[in-house]
C-alpha cells in the first residue's frame, strides 16, 4: 500500500508536469470530438492520430492516446442523448433513456449525470487498475510459452463468446484475423508467407490499416449515402443541474455500473458495449419502476455510462500487466506503445515505473479534465454535429488516408486499408462483427510463436499444455465457454448475446 502510494506520487510528478498535462488535455479534447462525431469511434481515432505522436517521447504519446480513448467514451454519450445516435458503439444503451430524457426537457440533466457517472467510474476504476495491475504482472512472471498460448487462445474464445450474436460467426472472424496475421516473415524460419514479392509485407500487415479500414472506412462506405442525421436537441447551461431526485436515483446505478464495467473490461471482448448492456439489464431488473425504462429512466443513463467508462480502465489491466490486449482498442494501444519502444507486459512496471505510474496518474487528471471540459463546452461540441455529413465524411476519409500512410510512410498500408474497408463494408451487410479480425491480426504472431516454443520445450509433446496447472486451467475455462455457447441451441431460447445483438440493431427486447 505504502509502496503503491509512493509510486503514485512519482506518477503524479510525471503527470502534472506541464508538457504531459498539455498532452493529456489535448488527448481528452480530441477524444471527446472523436466520441461526438458519429462514424469515428475510439479505435479509428487512436489509429488515425498515432502518427501525430511520433515526435513525442513515449510517456507523452501514451498519455495522449489514452486521453483519446477515454475522452471518446465520454463524448459518445452526447450524441446518444441529444440525437439518439451513438457517437461510439458503447453508447447504444444510453440512446434509449438518454434521448427519452432529452425529449422530456431533461437533456442537460442527462448529460450531467452521464458526465458525473463517467467521472466517478473512471476515477474508481483507475484506483482498481493501480492496485490490480502490479500483482497480476508479478504473477505473470511465472508464465512460459504454454501459459501464454493458453491465455491467448482463451482470449480469442472469450472475445467470440462475448460478441453479440452468433459465436460461430465471431470464431470464423477470429480465424480470418489469425490467417491475416500469418502474412509476413515466419519468425522462426525466415520464410516469406503470402507476401507475393511485396517487401513491405515482410513485417506482416499492420494493425492500424486493418483497424482504420474495418472500422473507419467501412463506416464511411456504409453511411455516406444515408440521409442526414435528425434534429439535435440543444440543452441550455442552466438546465445542466439534475434535480435531487435524479441524483438520488443515479447514485446506486453509478456504483454498480463502475464495478460491473471494470470487471467486464478485464475480460477479453468488446467490453464497453457489453458492460453498458449488462448494466442496463441489471438496472432494469433491480428497479422498483422497470416500466420507466425506455421512457427516460435516470438509471438507464447513469448505469451504462458509468459501466462503459469503467471498462476502459479494466481493459488496461491485461494489456499493461500481461502484454495481452483484451479487445481491438487495447490491441491498437499495444501497437502504439510498441511503436514508441515500450513493451507492455510483466516487466513494464519494473523496468519503466515512471511511464507506468505516470500513465496511471494521468488517467486521474484526464478524468477530471473531461468532467470540467465536457459540461460547459457541450454546446460547442454539439455545434460540430451541425456540419453536414456530405462535408464531414470526405474530411474524415482524408484523415484516414493520412493516418494510415504516415505510420510507416508506405502506400501499401493505404491499399491494405482499402481492402479492409471493402471487407468490413461487406461483413457489415452480412451482419458479421469485425472486432475479432483486428484482435486475430495482432495475436496471430504471438500465438504461433508461443505454440512453437512450447513444442520445442516439450520435444513436440502437446501434453505440455495440460501438464502445467495454469495453462490447463485456462484451456478448461475456454472449453466451458464453448459449451456454454452451445446451450441456446439446445434450449432454443434467446441468450444474453442474442439480446445484445437485438439491442444493437434497435429491436425491442422480449
Interface residues with another protein (CB under 8 A) are 51-52, 54-55, 168-169, 171-172, 175-176, 178-179, 182, 186, 188-189, 191, 193-194, 217, 220-226, 390-391, 393-395, 397-399, 401-402, 405-406, 409, 411, 414-415, 417-418, 421-422, 425, 427, 429-432, 444, 448, 451-452, 455-456, 459-461
Nearer Cβ to another protein (381/432): 432
Nearer Cβ to another protein (52/251): 52
C-alpha cell at 391: 462535408
Closest approach of another protein to the CB of residue 319, in Å: 24
Cα–Cα dist 79/381, whole Å = 10
C-alpha cell at 263: 470487471
Nearer Cβ to another protein (21/455): 455
Cα–Cα dist 225/222, whole Å = 7
Orientation angle between helical segments 299-322 and 107-140, nearest 10 degrees:
20
C-alpha cell at 396: 474524415
Q: What is the DSSP letter of 16?
A: T
Closest approach of another protein to the CB of residue 181, in Å: 9
Cα–Cα dist 207/437, whole Å = 10
Nearer Cβ to another protein (259/414): 414
Nearer Cβ to another protein (190/510): 190
Cα–Cα dist 112/254, whole Å = 13
Closest approach of another protein to the CB of residue 196, in Å: 9
Nearer Cβ to another protein (286/411): 411
Closest approach of another protein to the CB of residue 145, in Å: 13
Closest approach of another protein to the CB of residue 409, in Å: 6
Closest approach of another protein to the CB of residue 156, in Å: 11
Nearer Cβ to another protein (55/469): 55
Q: Give bridge partners of residue 184 from the DSSP assignment.
A: 193
Closest approach of another protein to the CB of residue 452, in Å: 6
The DSSP line for 265-291 is: HHSSS-HHHHHHHHHHHHHHHH-S-GG
Count CA within 13 A, CB hemisphere, residue 127.
8
Nearer Cβ to another protein (295/428): 428
Rg (CA), the chain: 22
CA-nearest of 230, 226, 227 to 83 is 230
Closest approach of another protein to the CB of residue 390, in Å: 4
Cα–Cα dist 79/232, whole Å = 8
Q: Give bridge partners of residue 192 from the DSSP assignment.
A: 185
Cα–Cα dist 32/67, whole Å = 9
Amino acid at each position: 500500500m505504502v509502496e503503491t502510494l509512493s509510486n503514485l506520487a512519482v506518477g503524479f510528478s510525471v503527470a502534472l508536469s506541464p508538457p504531459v498535462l498539455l498532452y493529456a488535455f489535448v488527448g481528452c479534447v480530441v477524444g471527446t470530438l472523436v466520441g461526438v462525431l458519429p462514424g469515428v469511434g475510439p479505435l479509428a481515432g487512436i489509429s488515425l492520430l498515432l502518427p501525430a505522436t511520433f515526435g513525442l517521447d513515449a510517456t507523452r504519446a501514451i498519455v495522449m492516446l489514452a486521453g483519446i480513448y477515454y475522452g471518446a467514451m465520454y463524448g459518445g454519450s452526447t450524441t446518444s442523448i441529444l440525437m439518439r445516435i451513438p457517437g461510439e458503439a458503447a453508447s447504444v444503451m444510453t440512446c434509449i433513456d438518454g434521448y427519452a430524457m432529452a425529449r422530456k426537457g431533461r437533456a442537460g440533466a442527462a448529460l450531467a449525470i452521464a458526465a458525473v457517472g463517467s467521472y466517478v467510474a473512471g476515477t474508481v476504476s483507475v484506483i482498481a487498475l493501480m492496485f490490480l495491475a502490479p500483482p497480476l504482472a508479478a504473477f505473470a512472471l511465472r508464465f512460459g510459452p504454454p501459459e501464454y498460448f493458453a491465455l491467448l487462445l482463451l482470449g480469442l474464445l472469450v472475445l467470440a463468446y462475448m460478441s453479440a450474436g452468433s459465436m460461430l460467426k465471431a470464431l470464423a472472424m477470429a480465424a480470418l484475423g489469425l490467417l491475416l496475421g500469418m502474412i509476413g516473415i515466419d519468425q522462426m524460419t525466415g520464410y516469406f508467407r503470402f507476401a507475393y514479392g511485396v517487401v513491405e509485407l515482410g513485417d506482416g500487415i499492420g494493425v492500424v490499416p486493418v483497424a482504420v479500414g474495418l472500422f473507419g472506412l467501412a463506416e464511411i462506405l456504409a453511411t455516406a449515402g444515408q440521409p442526414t442525421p435528425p434534429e439535435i436537441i440543444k440543452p441550455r447551461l442552466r438546465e445542466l443541474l439534475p434535480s435531487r431526485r435524479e441524483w438520488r436515483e443515479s447514485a446506486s446505478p453509478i456504483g454498480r455500473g463502475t464495478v460491473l464495467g471494470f470487471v467486464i473490461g478485464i475480460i477479453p471482448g468488446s467490453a464497453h458495449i457489453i458492460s453498458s448492456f449488462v448494466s442496463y439489464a441489471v438496472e432494469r431488473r433491480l428497479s422498483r419502476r422497470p416500466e420507466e425504462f425506455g421512457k427516460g429512466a435516470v438509471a438507464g443513463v447513469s448505469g451504462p455510462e458509468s459501466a462503459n467508462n469503467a471498462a476502459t480502465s479494466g481493459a488496461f489491466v491485461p494489456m499493461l500487466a500481461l502484454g495481452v490486449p483484451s479487445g481491438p482498442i487495447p490491441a491498437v494501444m499495444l501497437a502504439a506503445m510498441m511503436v514508441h519502444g515500450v513493451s507492455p507486459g510483466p516487466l513494464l512496471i519494473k523496468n519503466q515505473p515512471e511511464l507506468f505510474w505516470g500513465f496511471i496518474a494521468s488517467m486521474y487528471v484526464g478524468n477530471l479534465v473531461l468532467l470540467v471540459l465536457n459540461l460547459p463546452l457541450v454546446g460547442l461540441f454539439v455545434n460540430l454535429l451541425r456540419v453536414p455529413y456530405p462535408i464531414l465524411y470526405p474530411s474524415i476519409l482524408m484523415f484516414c488516408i493520412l493516418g494510415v500512410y504516415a505510420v510507416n510512410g508506405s502506400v501499401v498500408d493505404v491499399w491494405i486499408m482499402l481492402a479492409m474497408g471493402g471487407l468490413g463494408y461487406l461483413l457489415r451487410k452480412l451482419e458479421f462483427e469485425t472486432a475479432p479480425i483486428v484482435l486475430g491480426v495482432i495475436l496471430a504472431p504471438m500465438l504461433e510463436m508461443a505454440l512453437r516454443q512450447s513444442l520445442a520445450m516439450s520435444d513436440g509433446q502437446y501434453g505440455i499444455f495440460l501438464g502445467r496447472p495454469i495453462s490447463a486451467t485456462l484451456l478448461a475455462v475456454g472449453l466451458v465457454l464453448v459449451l456454454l455457447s452451445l446451450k441456446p441451441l439446445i434450449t432454443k431460447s434467446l441468450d444474453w448475446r442474442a439480446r445484445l445483438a437485438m439491442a444493437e440493431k434497435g429491436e425491442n427486447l422480449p
